[in-house]
A and B are shown apart, each in its own frame.
Chain A
Amino acid sequence: MIFQILLIAFALFAIVKTTRQYKKDKVSVYWFVVWSIFWTLLIIAALVPQTTDLIAQTVGVERGADLLVYSAVVVLFYATYRIMIRIEKQHQELTDLVRKIAIMEAKKSDDQDQKQ
Protein backbone atom coordinates (compact mmCIF):
# COMPACT_ATOMS: atom_id res chain seq x y z
CA MET A 1 0.00 0.00 0.00
CA ILE A 2 2.74 2.43 0.99
CA PHE A 3 4.70 1.56 -2.14
CA GLN A 4 1.68 2.24 -4.32
CA ILE A 5 1.21 5.69 -2.77
CA LEU A 6 4.90 6.49 -3.15
CA LEU A 7 4.86 5.36 -6.76
CA ILE A 8 1.83 7.48 -7.60
CA ALA A 9 3.30 10.49 -5.80
CA PHE A 10 6.55 10.15 -7.69
CA ALA A 11 4.76 9.72 -11.02
CA LEU A 12 2.69 12.85 -10.39
CA PHE A 13 5.86 14.74 -9.44
CA ALA A 14 7.50 13.56 -12.67
CA ILE A 15 4.52 14.67 -14.77
CA VAL A 16 4.53 18.13 -13.15
CA LYS A 17 8.26 18.36 -13.72
CA THR A 18 8.00 17.35 -17.41
CA THR A 19 5.13 19.77 -17.99
CA ARG A 20 7.18 22.62 -16.54
CA GLN A 21 10.18 21.69 -18.65
CA TYR A 22 7.97 21.58 -21.72
CA LYS A 23 6.50 25.02 -20.95
CA LYS A 24 10.03 26.39 -20.54
CA ASP A 25 10.83 24.93 -23.97
CA LYS A 26 13.51 22.65 -22.54
CA VAL A 27 11.83 19.45 -23.73
CA SER A 28 10.36 18.76 -27.15
CA VAL A 29 6.65 17.91 -27.61
CA TYR A 30 7.69 14.39 -28.49
CA TRP A 31 9.42 13.68 -25.22
CA PHE A 32 6.72 15.53 -23.26
CA VAL A 33 4.06 13.22 -24.71
CA VAL A 34 6.18 10.07 -24.32
CA TRP A 35 7.01 10.76 -20.67
CA SER A 36 3.46 11.83 -19.83
CA ILE A 37 2.04 8.61 -21.26
CA PHE A 38 4.71 6.57 -19.48
CA TRP A 39 4.01 8.07 -16.04
CA THR A 40 0.22 7.95 -16.56
CA LEU A 41 0.44 4.25 -17.38
CA LEU A 42 2.52 3.78 -14.24
CA ILE A 43 -0.17 5.50 -12.15
CA ILE A 44 -2.84 3.23 -13.66
CA ALA A 45 -0.65 0.19 -12.95
CA ALA A 46 -0.22 1.32 -9.35
CA LEU A 47 -3.93 1.96 -8.84
CA VAL A 48 -5.22 -1.25 -10.46
CA PRO A 49 -2.35 -3.78 -10.46
CA GLN A 50 -4.73 -6.48 -11.80
CA THR A 51 -4.71 -4.80 -15.24
CA THR A 52 -0.97 -5.43 -15.57
CA ASP A 53 -1.55 -9.08 -14.71
CA LEU A 54 -4.03 -9.27 -17.57
CA ILE A 55 -1.60 -7.76 -20.03
CA ALA A 56 1.20 -9.97 -18.72
CA GLN A 57 -0.83 -13.13 -19.22
CA THR A 58 -1.72 -12.24 -22.80
CA VAL A 59 2.01 -11.98 -23.65
CA GLY A 60 2.89 -15.13 -21.69
CA VAL A 61 4.24 -13.73 -18.42
CA GLU A 62 2.51 -14.75 -15.21
CA ARG A 63 2.53 -11.57 -13.15
CA GLY A 64 2.23 -7.94 -14.19
CA ALA A 65 5.02 -6.88 -11.84
CA ASP A 66 7.35 -9.35 -13.54
CA LEU A 67 6.44 -8.02 -16.96
CA LEU A 68 7.29 -4.49 -15.78
CA VAL A 69 10.70 -5.58 -14.49
CA TYR A 70 11.51 -7.52 -17.68
CA SER A 71 10.57 -4.62 -19.92
CA ALA A 72 12.46 -2.18 -17.72
CA VAL A 73 15.65 -4.25 -18.01
CA VAL A 74 15.36 -4.42 -21.81
CA VAL A 75 14.69 -0.69 -22.12
CA LEU A 76 17.57 0.17 -19.79
CA PHE A 77 19.99 -2.05 -21.70
CA TYR A 78 19.03 -0.42 -24.95
CA ALA A 79 19.33 3.05 -23.44
CA THR A 80 22.82 2.22 -22.17
CA TYR A 81 23.80 1.01 -25.61
CA ARG A 82 22.56 4.22 -27.21
CA ILE A 83 24.43 6.30 -24.66
CA MET A 84 27.64 4.34 -25.30
CA ILE A 85 27.38 5.01 -29.01
CA ARG A 86 26.80 8.67 -28.35
CA ILE A 87 29.84 8.87 -26.06
CA GLU A 88 31.95 7.14 -28.67
CA LYS A 89 30.80 9.63 -31.27
CA GLN A 90 31.59 12.54 -28.98
CA HIS A 91 35.06 11.07 -28.37
CA GLN A 92 35.63 11.07 -32.10
CA GLU A 93 34.38 14.63 -32.45
CA LEU A 94 36.64 15.71 -29.62
CA THR A 95 39.60 14.05 -31.33
CA ASP A 96 38.76 15.84 -34.59
CA LEU A 97 38.62 19.16 -32.76
CA VAL A 98 41.89 18.55 -30.89
CA ARG A 99 43.48 17.54 -34.21
CA LYS A 100 42.30 20.68 -35.98
CA ILE A 101 43.68 22.90 -33.24
CA ALA A 102 46.97 20.96 -33.15
CA ILE A 103 47.47 21.46 -36.91
CA MET A 104 46.63 25.16 -36.58
CA GLU A 105 49.02 25.62 -33.65
CA ALA A 106 51.94 23.76 -35.25
CA LYS A 107 55.27 25.34 -34.33
CA LYS A 108 58.87 25.07 -35.41
CA SER A 109 61.79 26.88 -33.81
CA ASP A 110 63.85 27.81 -36.89
CA ASP A 111 61.75 28.47 -39.96
CA GLN A 112 64.62 28.99 -42.36
CA ASP A 113 65.13 25.35 -43.19
CA GLN A 114 61.48 24.91 -44.07
CA LYS A 115 61.71 23.19 -47.43
CA GLN A 116 58.67 23.88 -49.53
Chain B
Amino acid sequence: MKTVAVIPAYNEEKRLAAAVKDAAKFVDAVVVIDDCSRDRTAQIALSAGAYVLPHLINRGQGAALQTGTEFALQKLSADIVVHFDADGQMMGEDIPNMIKPIADGKFDVVLGSRFKGKKSNMPFSRKITIRLALLFTILMSGMRLSDTHNGFRALSREAASKIKIKMNRMAHASEILDLIQAKKLRYTEVPVKIKYTEDTLDKGQSFFSGFAILKDYFKGKFFDEV
Protein backbone atom coordinates (compact mmCIF):
# COMPACT_ATOMS: atom_id res chain seq x y z
CA MET B 1 0.00 0.00 0.00
CA LYS B 2 1.54 3.26 -1.08
CA THR B 3 0.37 6.23 0.94
CA VAL B 4 0.93 9.80 -0.22
CA ALA B 5 0.29 12.94 1.85
CA VAL B 6 -0.93 15.99 -0.06
CA ILE B 7 -0.23 19.35 1.57
CA PRO B 8 -1.48 22.60 -0.02
CA ALA B 9 0.69 25.51 1.07
CA TYR B 10 0.35 29.25 0.64
CA ASN B 11 2.96 31.43 2.36
CA GLU B 12 3.72 28.76 4.97
CA GLU B 13 7.51 29.05 5.27
CA LYS B 14 7.33 29.21 9.07
CA ARG B 15 5.44 26.01 9.79
CA LEU B 16 5.71 23.94 6.63
CA ALA B 17 9.02 22.14 7.29
CA ALA B 18 7.74 20.69 10.55
CA ALA B 19 4.45 19.59 8.96
CA VAL B 20 6.21 17.88 6.03
CA LYS B 21 8.67 16.05 8.29
CA ASP B 22 5.90 15.05 10.68
CA ALA B 23 3.75 13.59 7.87
CA ALA B 24 6.74 11.96 6.13
CA LYS B 25 7.28 9.67 9.12
CA PHE B 26 3.95 7.97 8.41
CA VAL B 27 3.63 8.02 4.59
CA ASP B 28 5.67 6.94 1.55
CA ALA B 29 5.81 10.36 -0.08
CA VAL B 30 4.80 13.93 0.68
CA VAL B 31 3.51 16.24 -2.06
CA VAL B 32 3.44 19.99 -1.39
CA ILE B 33 1.55 22.31 -3.71
CA ASP B 34 3.04 25.76 -3.58
CA ASP B 35 0.01 27.91 -4.41
CA CYS B 36 2.05 30.82 -5.77
CA SER B 37 3.52 31.78 -2.38
CA ARG B 38 5.57 34.95 -2.12
CA ASP B 39 7.82 33.53 0.57
CA ARG B 40 10.26 30.60 0.59
CA THR B 41 7.56 27.91 0.85
CA ALA B 42 8.84 26.01 -2.21
CA GLN B 43 12.50 25.86 -1.14
CA ILE B 44 11.55 24.84 2.39
CA ALA B 45 9.30 22.04 1.14
CA LEU B 46 12.07 20.84 -1.18
CA SER B 47 14.69 20.71 1.54
CA ALA B 48 12.22 18.96 3.84
CA GLY B 49 12.16 16.18 1.23
CA ALA B 50 8.77 16.72 -0.38
CA TYR B 51 7.73 16.75 -4.01
CA VAL B 52 6.97 20.37 -4.84
CA LEU B 53 4.34 21.32 -7.42
CA PRO B 54 4.32 25.03 -8.27
CA HIS B 55 1.00 26.74 -9.04
CA LEU B 56 2.10 29.62 -11.26
CA ILE B 57 -1.05 31.57 -10.32
CA ASN B 58 -2.73 31.38 -6.91
CA ARG B 59 -5.77 29.12 -7.29
CA GLY B 60 -6.85 28.47 -3.71
CA GLN B 61 -6.78 25.49 -1.38
CA GLY B 62 -9.37 23.37 -3.17
CA ALA B 63 -7.53 23.65 -6.48
CA ALA B 64 -4.20 22.90 -4.80
CA LEU B 65 -5.61 19.75 -3.17
CA GLN B 66 -6.90 18.56 -6.52
CA THR B 67 -3.51 19.18 -8.17
CA GLY B 68 -1.70 17.22 -5.47
CA THR B 69 -4.23 14.40 -5.56
CA GLU B 70 -3.95 14.03 -9.34
CA PHE B 71 -0.14 14.00 -9.10
CA ALA B 72 -0.23 11.36 -6.37
CA LEU B 73 -2.54 9.14 -8.43
CA GLN B 74 -0.92 9.58 -11.84
CA LYS B 75 2.78 9.97 -11.13
CA LEU B 76 3.26 8.25 -7.78
CA SER B 77 0.56 5.60 -8.29
CA ALA B 78 -0.69 6.12 -4.74
CA ASP B 79 -3.06 3.59 -3.19
CA ILE B 80 -4.14 5.99 -0.46
CA VAL B 81 -4.12 9.78 -0.55
CA VAL B 82 -4.06 11.74 2.71
CA HIS B 83 -5.04 15.43 2.80
CA PHE B 84 -2.88 17.14 5.39
CA ASP B 85 -2.39 20.73 6.55
CA ALA B 86 0.71 22.85 6.13
CA ASP B 87 0.38 24.75 9.39
CA GLY B 88 1.24 22.02 11.88
CA GLN B 89 -2.25 21.82 13.39
CA MET B 90 -2.55 18.17 12.45
CA MET B 91 -0.48 15.38 13.94
CA GLY B 92 1.32 12.93 11.69
CA GLU B 93 0.83 10.25 14.33
CA ASP B 94 -2.90 10.25 13.50
CA ILE B 95 -2.20 9.16 9.91
CA PRO B 96 -1.92 5.40 10.64
CA ASN B 97 -5.37 5.48 12.30
CA MET B 98 -6.75 7.45 9.36
CA ILE B 99 -5.58 5.03 6.69
CA LYS B 100 -6.31 1.80 8.53
CA PRO B 101 -10.03 1.56 7.61
CA ILE B 102 -9.07 2.00 3.94
CA ALA B 103 -6.17 -0.45 4.07
CA ASP B 104 -8.54 -2.96 5.64
CA GLY B 105 -10.86 -2.44 2.67
CA LYS B 106 -13.78 -1.42 4.87
CA PHE B 107 -14.13 2.20 3.75
CA ASP B 108 -13.28 4.45 0.79
CA VAL B 109 -13.05 7.74 2.66
CA VAL B 110 -11.94 8.50 6.21
CA LEU B 111 -12.62 11.93 7.69
CA GLY B 112 -10.69 13.25 10.66
CA SER B 113 -12.90 14.31 13.55
CA ARG B 114 -11.91 16.60 16.39
CA PHE B 115 -14.86 15.66 18.54
CA LYS B 116 -15.00 11.91 18.29
CA GLY B 117 -13.10 10.67 21.30
CA LYS B 118 -10.03 12.72 22.06
CA LYS B 119 -9.90 16.17 23.66
CA SER B 120 -8.65 19.34 22.04
CA ASN B 121 -8.18 22.88 23.28
CA MET B 122 -10.50 24.65 20.87
CA PRO B 123 -11.61 28.22 21.60
CA PHE B 124 -15.32 28.87 22.16
CA SER B 125 -15.84 31.15 19.14
CA ARG B 126 -14.46 28.45 16.87
CA LYS B 127 -16.83 25.91 18.43
CA ILE B 128 -19.90 27.95 17.44
CA THR B 129 -18.64 28.32 13.88
CA ILE B 130 -18.16 24.57 13.61
CA ARG B 131 -21.60 23.82 15.08
CA LEU B 132 -23.15 25.96 12.34
CA ALA B 133 -21.08 24.20 9.71
CA LEU B 134 -22.31 20.83 11.02
CA LEU B 135 -25.91 21.95 10.83
CA PHE B 136 -25.29 23.14 7.29
CA THR B 137 -23.82 19.75 6.37
CA ILE B 138 -26.82 17.86 7.71
CA LEU B 139 -29.15 20.17 5.77
CA MET B 140 -27.23 20.05 2.51
CA SER B 141 -25.84 16.56 2.19
CA GLY B 142 -27.73 14.71 4.89
CA MET B 143 -24.50 13.48 6.44
CA ARG B 144 -24.61 13.36 10.21
CA LEU B 145 -20.99 13.91 11.14
CA SER B 146 -19.39 14.78 14.45
CA ASP B 147 -17.05 17.21 12.70
CA THR B 148 -16.69 18.81 9.29
CA HIS B 149 -14.26 21.01 7.48
CA ASN B 150 -11.14 20.17 9.41
CA GLY B 151 -9.35 19.14 6.23
CA PHE B 152 -7.83 15.90 7.52
CA ARG B 153 -8.96 13.17 5.09
CA ALA B 154 -7.78 9.86 3.74
CA LEU B 155 -9.04 8.63 0.38
CA SER B 156 -8.67 5.30 -1.34
CA ARG B 157 -7.31 5.41 -4.88
CA GLU B 158 -10.81 4.76 -6.19
CA ALA B 159 -12.38 7.51 -4.06
CA ALA B 160 -9.61 9.98 -4.92
CA SER B 161 -10.15 9.46 -8.64
CA LYS B 162 -13.91 9.85 -8.31
CA ILE B 163 -13.77 13.01 -6.22
CA LYS B 164 -12.81 15.85 -8.50
CA ILE B 165 -12.70 19.11 -6.59
CA LYS B 166 -13.98 22.02 -8.64
CA MET B 167 -14.32 24.62 -5.90
CA ASN B 168 -11.06 26.49 -6.10
CA ARG B 169 -11.24 28.18 -2.74
CA MET B 170 -12.48 27.03 0.66
CA ALA B 171 -15.91 25.64 -0.27
CA HIS B 172 -14.19 22.43 -1.39
CA ALA B 173 -14.68 20.90 2.07
CA SER B 174 -18.48 20.89 1.64
CA GLU B 175 -18.07 19.90 -1.98
CA ILE B 176 -16.07 16.80 -1.04
CA LEU B 177 -18.83 15.72 1.39
CA ASP B 178 -21.41 16.15 -1.38
CA LEU B 179 -19.30 14.06 -3.73
CA ILE B 180 -18.90 11.31 -1.13
CA GLN B 181 -22.70 11.06 -1.06
CA ALA B 182 -23.17 11.42 -4.81
CA LYS B 183 -20.57 8.77 -5.67
CA LYS B 184 -21.93 6.50 -2.91
CA LEU B 185 -18.54 6.11 -1.25
CA ARG B 186 -18.27 4.35 2.08
CA TYR B 187 -17.07 6.83 4.70
CA THR B 188 -16.26 6.86 8.36
CA GLU B 189 -14.86 9.24 10.96
CA VAL B 190 -11.72 8.73 12.98
CA PRO B 191 -10.75 10.86 15.98
CA VAL B 192 -7.78 13.17 15.40
CA LYS B 193 -6.12 15.77 17.56
CA ILE B 194 -5.89 19.32 16.26
CA LYS B 195 -3.61 21.82 17.95
CA TYR B 196 -4.84 25.39 18.19
CA THR B 197 -2.22 28.04 18.73
CA GLU B 198 -2.49 31.81 18.35
CA ASP B 199 -0.29 31.54 15.32
CA THR B 200 -2.60 29.17 13.46
CA LEU B 201 -5.81 30.85 14.59
CA ASP B 202 -4.83 33.87 12.51
CA LYS B 203 -5.00 31.76 9.41
CA GLY B 204 -8.03 29.56 10.18
CA GLN B 205 -11.60 30.14 9.08
CA SER B 206 -13.33 32.76 11.18
CA PHE B 207 -17.06 33.07 11.67
CA PHE B 208 -17.28 35.70 8.95
CA SER B 209 -15.22 33.93 6.34
CA GLY B 210 -17.89 31.24 6.69
CA PHE B 211 -20.17 33.50 4.70
CA ALA B 212 -17.65 33.77 1.88
CA ILE B 213 -17.48 29.96 1.81
CA LEU B 214 -21.27 29.73 1.69
CA LYS B 215 -21.31 32.13 -1.23
CA ASP B 216 -18.79 30.05 -3.16
CA TYR B 217 -20.65 26.87 -2.33
CA PHE B 218 -24.00 28.07 -3.62
CA LYS B 219 -22.38 29.69 -6.61
CA GLY B 220 -20.92 26.32 -7.48
CA LYS B 221 -24.28 24.58 -7.04
CA PHE B 222 -25.95 27.22 -9.18
CA PHE B 223 -23.49 27.12 -12.04
CA ASP B 224 -23.34 23.34 -12.10
CA GLU B 225 -26.91 23.28 -13.31
CA VAL B 226 -26.14 25.51 -16.27
Binding site for B on A (CB under 8 A): 85, 88, 91-92, 94-95, 98-99, 101-103, 105-110, 113, 115-116
B182 at the interface (CB under 8 A from A): no
Cβ–Cβ contact A109 & B28, under 8 A? no
Assess the B51–A98 pair: CB atoms within 8 A: no
A79–B50 CA distance with the chains assembled, in angstroms = 46
The 8 Å CB contact of A98, one of B28, B49, B50, B56, is B56
Q: Are B54 and A105 in contact (CB under 8 A)?
A: yes
Task: Check B226 for interface membership: any CB of A closer than 8 A.
Answer: yes
Docked CA distance A62–B29 (Å): 72
Q: Which of A92, A98, A109 contacts B57 (CB 8 A)?
A: A98
Q: Chain B contact residues: over half helix, strand or loop, or mixed? A: mixed
- Which one of B53, B56, B66, B77 has the highest number of Cβ atoms from chain A below 10 Å of its Cβ? B53
B55-90 CB mask vs A (1 if < 8 Å, else 0) is 111010001001100110011010000000000000
Pair B52/A98 contact, Cβ less than 8 Å:
no
Contacts of B50 on A, CB cut-off 8 Å?
108
Evaluate contact between A102 and B47: CB separation under 8 angstroms: no
Can you list 14 A-B contacts with CB-CB less than 8 angstroms, sorted by A residue number? A85-B223, A92-B166, A98-B63, A102-B54, A102-B56, A102-B71, A103-B53, A103-B75, A106-B31, A106-B52, A108-B49, A108-B51, A115-B28, A115-B29
What distance in Å separates the Cβ of A99 from its nearest Cβ neighbour in chain B?
Answer: 5
Q: Contact check, B46 vs A108: say whether CB atoms are below 8 A apart.
A: yes
On whether the beta carbons of B2 and A115 are closer than 8 Å, the reply is yes
In the bound complex, do residue A105 and residue B53 qualify as a contact, i.e. CB atoms below 8 Å apart?
yes
- Does B168 make an interface contact (CB < 8 A)? yes
CB neighbours (8 Å) of A103 from chain B are: 53, 67, 70-71, 74-75
Q: Is the interface of A mostly helix, strand, loop or mixed?
A: helix
Identify which of B52, B77, B168 contacts A108 (C-beta below 8 A): B52
Task: Determine whether B33 belongs to the interface, using a CB cutoff of 8 Å to chain A.
Answer: yes
Chain A residues within 8 Å of B71, by CB:
102-103, 106
Considering the complex, give the chain A residue whose CB is closest to the CB of B60.
Answer: A95
Distance between Cα atoms of A101 and B70 in the complex (Å): 12
CA distance A88 to B219 in the complex (A): 10
**A43, B161: Cα distance in complex, Å:** 58
Given the complex, which residues of B lie within 8 Å of A106, measured CB to CB? 31, 51-53, 71, 75
Which of A105, A109, A116 is B49 in contact with, Cβ under 8 Å?
A109
B21 to chain A: closest CB distance in Å? 14
| Cross-chain contact of B46 among A98, A105, A107, A115 (Cβ < 8 A) | A107
Tell me the minimal C-beta distance from A33 to chain B in angstroms: 27
Q: Which residues B1-47 have CB closer than 8 A to chain A?
A: 2, 28-29, 31, 33, 46-47
Q: A99-B63, A102-B67, A103-B70 are in contact. List 20 more A-B contacts (CB 8 A).
A: A85-B226, A88-B219, A88-B223, A92-B166, A92-B168, A94-B57, A95-B63, A95-B168, A98-B59, A99-B59, A102-B53, A102-B54, A102-B56, A105-B54, A106-B31, A106-B71, A107-B51, A107-B52, A115-B2, A115-B29
